[in-house]
Amino acid sequence: LLFLAMELLEGKSLREKLHTDGPLALDEALRVLEEIAMSLTEAHRLGIVHRDIKPENILAGPYGEVLLMDWGLAKVWHPDGSSAPDEERKRSKIMDLSLTSQGKVQGTPHYMSPEQINQDTAIDHRTDIYSLGVVLYEILCGETPSKGEKLHHIIQSTLNDVPVPPSQLTTQRVPRVLEEVALRCLQKQPADRYASIAELLHLLQGNWRTELSRTTKIPATK
């Protein structure tokens, strides 16, 4: 018999934690995000871009382990700097709110960077920085920066709207440093974001905690 042995993964996604566990300590949520940033640092060093970072793909295990799941949309660069063939370069339309099939725009619209939406063939690691910024933004205020109930509204919001600072959308105290990090990640032009995940990770591990008491909670998302 042929069989495939796979690791049994247990725990909850960050989405489940935000929905079902109620408010999370900001320390706890940022620890998860730091682990994901470390994973991406290594992936980017190897020439791999995830392209589908979202709370549903972040697993927090029962013993403190954190895993970035679903690398099915990853883009890989060859050692010579060229990229591997990429099916989503084909002309296509976005058909629903969570697209993973070949021949369509890849990703989940609320977390997709402008260059993902535009199917930019020069897309690189900075699209992951944008998506991680969306997750951070949602952690801080309970909402994603792109607004709209319909798909075309979300797309237009991502492409054109300047995100409202998280501190204006919640009654919880938002560390200024983290707000600035999130907004920098969400810049429309890749060149205006952080140059690397390592630079972003350094800020996430900084002294922002001095701005808050350790009991501060982040809001549960709807």
Of the pLDDT bands very low, low, confident and very high (cuts 50, 70, 90), residue 99 is: very low
Tell me the torsion sign for CA atoms 28, 29, 35, 38: negative
Q: What is the pLDDT of residues 23-75, one digit of tens each?
A: 567 888 899 999 999 999 999 999 999 999 999 999 988 888 899 999 888 98
Mean pLDDT (the chain) is 83
CB neighbour class for 95 (10 Å; exposed up to 12, middle 13-18, buried from 19): exposed
Please say if the pLDDT value at position 123 is more than 70. yes
Average pLDDT over residues 4-9: 88
Please say if the pLDDT value at position 86 is more than 60. no
Active site residues: 52
pLDDT of residue 94: 44
Token output for 76: 């890989």
Top-confidence residue, 82 or 65: 65
Task: Of 68, 53, 182, 202, give the one whose Cα is nearest residue 116.
Answer: 53
Single pTM value for the model: 0.82
